[in-house]
Amino acid sequence: MFKVVVDPDICIGDEECVEVCPVDVFQLQNGRAFPYQAGECLGCGSCIEVCEPVAITVTEE
Contact residues for ligand SF4, defined by CB under 6 A: 2, 4, 20-23, 25, 41-47, 58
The CB-of-26 to ligand SF4 minimum distance in angstroms stands at: 7
Which of 55, 58 has the CB closer to ligand SF4? Answer: 58
Distance of closest approach, residue 38 Cβ to ligand SF4, in angstroms: 7
Give the C-alpha separation, 27 to 34, whole Å: 5
User: Considering the complex, what minimum distance in angstroms separates the CB of residue 52 from ligand SF4?
Assistant: 15
Q: Which distant-in-sequence residues (6+ apart) come within 8 Å of 33 by Cβ?
A: 6, 11, 13, 15, 17, 18, 26, 27, 55, 56
